[in-house]
Structure 1
């Protein structure tokens, strides 16, 4: 992604967010455009995102923080918090690398401002939703120990927030009619014998939207799948034997008559 594309995406997200704030529809075209632009911005290389966030030529990037993270639309607000949380992580990482060099006061001030918003980006204000995010974060954090390689650049909080947002959007509140689905997802994400599911979700191979639509069998670990398969095979064998017995009984009855 080039600088001009980054700016175009940011401008598109800003315009769409302002347009969405004037409407009432939760899933209006403006909301979809804004969310899509924000997701594209998250794909920007770390070096480019860092450069754009601290560049004095583009103060609107920092000043527009509240436009997204405090938006009345929950989808825009959630995606905005994830985006700025990701950029904050970039600032942390680059700041550590440059800690031995003199720091520009403006850069430090911007970093401090984003640090103050870090905890906000992790919460929704809804205790049930925040609890789900914490549980997902705990499960995703296991991947670093389980896999050891290939997950260094992943932001567990951002992924947890993104997955929870997809769950909330698709399933509604945790205490609602889809509580069983919530429990199924959280169980499989935290299952000690299911590291592959966590890894795929963390690296984006399985998106939050996809995870929400997966059946229990799809999410289950290989161990549980094998157990389910054995149960199905036993049930099938039992049914086949029952049918055979019935046919033999009917055949015997015909012979006797």
Structure 2
């Protein structure tokens, strides 16, 4: 069952990815829709959804660029959600029926015991009455303990049912477990995301046209974070989608603009260039990392206004800048010390010992100099301290 479920879902996801790359209408859209419909016909249980984690991965398709895939994925997600709710309600109903049957059995046993004692003679009737009262006390005590155990079980099922209804997502999405730990984990507890203040539906105005315009631009930039997070290629970014969805873009925009106005003054004043730098990086289509970190609170507004343009760059841009600097250090020869030829170093690429090197102080004065080595044979570069 789990194998068929995973194979069918992988086929649907693969077709959806190809359709997204194509952009326009393509036969991959129909293939994805057919695979999603086959998934709906496969009988599943809550245990299957928890073990395969397909419900969590299906949320990515509900925000696909093609409307057909969005509609079919949303319908399938709602269908699986109803399966989980129905199983939980059935278990709760079975627990309550067990409680009623145990009470009926106890009443019947008590009635039979009393009847037997009444039919006895007057001599042993006293002793039977005493034993009856004592047995009734013990039976009542045992009954109370069993009743408490059954009631606690039914209450626990009701609480789990209510939590799954209030969260509005499948139980398989409530807990994030690494792929390697699926088999080791036997019980899964839903991780409740703390509910924050209600989201704002309209922009908070401050009776200043310039400041209101800045807030609107920031809110527009922050509203893109949820879609960008779900479409990101990195797993560590997609895993925080629930946290991103709970954030309020309008509230974050108002907070950032208020701190900027308090610390930097007006946007057309002496800090005009700083305003432009912050707004450019927050609105840049390639700088999704900065927008997400500011929205979720990882980068506070007070820290944002103190960051340099290099610090506000995206992770990809930071890596590219680092590579450019390292390459420039290797290739900068003008005004530098002359290179020396030596056979002390062995090239890790070609294995030759024909190398040239030079040394440069790239760190503080009390640190040793950095040695830059170049292979004469294959032009391989490396450095060491």
Per the shorter chain, which TM-score range? 0.3 to 0.5
Say which structure, 1 or 2, has more relative contact order (CA 8 Å, 6+ apart).
1
Considering only CA atoms, is the larger Rg found in Structure 1 or Structure 2?
Answer: 2
Write 1 or 2 for the structure with the bigger share of helix: 1
Query: TM-score w.r.t. structure 2 length?
Result: 0.32
